[in-house]
Amino acid sequence: MDIKLSHFNGGIHLDDHKAESLTQPLQIASLPDQLILPLKQHIGEPNKPLVDVGDRVLRGQLIAGSSSPISSPIHAPTSGVVSAIEPHLVPHTSGQSADCIVIDVDGKDESIEFESIDVSQMQAADMIDHIRHLGIVGLGGASFPTSPKLSRGNDLGIHTLIINGVECEPYITCDDSLMQNQADDIIRGIGYLQRMLKPTKTLIGVEDNKPKAIEAMNLALQSHAHSESHSQALINTEVVSIPTLYPSGGEKQLIQILTGNEIPTGRLAFDIGIFCQNVGTCAAITQALELNQPLMSRIVTVSGDGVRKPGNWIVRLGTPIKHLIGLAGGYVQGDLNKPSLNMHGLNMHGFNMHDNVQQHLVMGGPMMGFSLSSDEVPIVKGSNNILVMQQQLIAQTPGIHDECVRCGKCAEVCPAQLLPQQLYWHSRSKEYEKVEEYNLFDCIECGCCSAVCPSQIPLVQYYRASKSEIRATQQATFKSDRARIRFEFREKRLLLKKQQEEEKRRLKREALLKKSAAKKEASDAVDAVQAALDRVKEKNGEKVIEPKNITGLTADQQKQIDVADARRRAAREQKA
């Protein structure tokens, strides 16, 4: 296959800092005393706990699940006793707590019996179902449940399968480490993906700053092709070395590099017949389909100048970061000082001004990761990297930066080809309609614009703020719309009720009228008798006198009556 690489707009070259965490070989992390497993470690509906406090759980046992199709169950990563199901700090940008299952680890690491399955006999739908039950999510960081993605891809039809081994963020080497150590698992996983999706070609994209990973992947690919033991050979698969440039690992950017295609705004990759999956997910799929084992651990990089021995570890999910930092030799300087994290010690920009040394704990890479307020938070399915930085960072904080001089460097590096400058102006003046007009929601928050801004404007922070503001407004609009619709429905219902009652009343009135008409008919009959009697009387010469008080009036009286009548008429008219 001859791959002609394309380019995406902009991007930046960064110091990759990858060597630090690759000095040690991949190690298996020891078990901590406690595992903290957030009920929601994926994009979608949260899980409900399926165990109670006090229950003993075994490795691989299902402990939380949901019936929603967009969700992913959680399995106990080791044996122990459920000591609590309560809110705990979780790794999330908000820095808030969420419900977690806490397991007191007993150290025996006893596992449930994993039933053996024969993947060679499985249909695509069975495989997808299996992947769902074993809790596989995208391990590249977004943690989208893999099974709904696969079934959608299966429905729509895929021509190109892209395996993402780019890992473009600085410091992170978990995928690199995985490719070097478990290339064969990844390749077999790709084989299963091919069976499920039937693409015509598969491209494995790896940045050229990982020559060892590329070599290992090529070797595994070749041995797989020559091996007789595999019933299913890989079809049209190639490892593609792509130039190192941030953010090549973004899904849209990688697709653009490898295929030259752009995903139309508002659509997803499989809408144009492309399916992307991270290398880590491929290995997890292999484990699920061959060993019937759920996702219970992942490779995590611990790096940065704040830890003594950076490296990669195979870590059980739920392991507190503190434990992992301990394995990496601990902090270079002191410990995270927890009491000073309370809001009283912080100034308005969130910095603690009492200490001049600032420690920075980040989950993810330095470009797109997020700050952690504490090292008590656990590793979750999407945690690829723990970054500890001790250097004094220049504060990128709204309000404290130079003015924008419209140099346009942000636009030059923007991989989404947006105009970050205009987005910034309109974000700053809270003109959210304009911000949307300038396609804010196409921003992937890669951070290139912030990184190159000579005025050090924290552009991405402005965009995130605008996005959440717009989402909040949308939410509010949605709510008020719903309230309005409900109100209108209620009004309609009441009106209908009123109409129905009126109809009922009308019918009743009619019925009554009919009744009275019938009565009248009867009384008319009585009148006829009276008339006959009168006629008889007339015939007899008797004058019928109608005694009325208006007969025999004098002219004067008549005049008075007329005047009164006229007055009444006038009054009535006036009233009308």
Partner 1 sequence: MTSVIVSSPYVNPSNSLRRLMINVIIGLIPGTLAYVWFFGPGILVNISISILFALGFEAFILRLRKKRIKPHLTDYSAVVTAWLFALCLPTHSPWWLIVVGIGFAMIAGKHLYGGLGLNPFNPAMVGYVVVLISFPREMTTWHLPISISGEAYGLVDSLKFAFAIGDSSWDAFTAATPLDHVKTALRQDVPISEIYQAPLFGKLGGIGWEWISAGWLIGGLWLLITKTIRWHIPAALLGSLGSIALAFYLVDTETATSPLFHWLSGGVMLGAFFIATDPVTAATTNHGRIYYGILIGLLVYLIRSWGGYPDGVAFAVLLANMCVPLIDYYTQPKVYGAK
Q: Which of residues 163-222 bind partner 1 (CB under 8 A)?
A: 170
In the structure encoding, which two tokens stand for residue 495, read together?
A: 């009106």
Residues with Cβ < 8 Å from 144, sequence gap 6 or more? 42, 43, 44, 137, 138
Quick one: tokens of 406?
A: 């419209």
Task: Mark the segment that binds partner 1 (CB under 8 A) among 58-66, 112-120, 181-189, 404-412.
Answer: 404-412
Nearer to partner 1, 14 or 105 (CB): 14
Smallest gap from Cβ 271 to partner 1, in A, equals 11
Scan residues 108-137 and list those touching partner 1 (CB under 8 A).
none
Q: Can you state the angle between helices 174-197 and 279-291, rounded to 10 degrees?
A: 60
Positions in 446-475 near partner 1 (CB under 8 A)? 447, 450-456, 458, 460-461, 464
Residue of the chain from 34, 397, 434, 469 that contacts partner 1 (CB under 8 A): 397
From the CB of 355, what's the least distance to partner 1, in Å? 6
Alpha-carbon gap, residue 555 to 539, rounded angstroms: 33
Residue 8 or 275 with smaller CB distance to partner 1: 8
The whole-angstrom distance between residue 16's C-alpha and the CA centroid of its chain comes to 29
Residues 159/119, Cβ–Cβ less than 8 Å: no
Interface residue with partner 1 among 370, 478, 487, 489 (CB under 8 A) is 370
The reply on whether position 342 binds partner 1 by CB under 8 A is no
Q: What is the 3-state secondary structure (H, E, C) of 66-107?
A: CCCCCCCCEECCCCEEEEEEEEEECCCCCCCEEEEEEEEECC
Please identify, using beta-carbon distances, which residue of 83 and 390 lies nearer to partner 1.
390
- Cα-atom radius of gyration of the chain, to the nearest Å? 39
Q: Judge contact between 313 and 353, C-beta under 8 A.
A: no
Q: Which is nearer to partner 1, 133 or 428 (CB)?
A: 428
Residues 277-336 that bind partner 1 (CB under 8 A): 331, 333-336
Report, in Å, the least distance between residue 391 CB and partner 1. 8
The CB-of-205 to partner 1 minimum distance in angstroms stands at 18
Question: Hey, how many other C-beta atoms are within 10 angstroms of the C-beta on 253?
Answer: 26
Nearer residue to partner 1 within complex by CB, 185 or 251: 251
Using the contact rule CB under 8 A, the part of the chain among 135-143, 196-204, 386-394, 526-534 near partner 1 is 386-394
Please state, in angstroms and rounded to a whole number, the distance separating the CA atoms of residues 150 and 285: 12
Total residues in contact with partner 1, by rule CB under 8 A: 83
Q: Shortest gap between Cβ of 248 and partner 1 (angstroms)?
A: 14
Contact 271, 34 (CB under 8 A): no
Distance CA 148, CA 154 (A): 10
Q: Does 89 bind partner 1 (CB under 8 A)?
A: no
* Residue whose CB is less far from partner 1, 37 or 361: 361
For the segment 343-362, give every residue that binds partner 1 (CB under 8 A). Answer: 345, 350-352, 354-355, 357-362
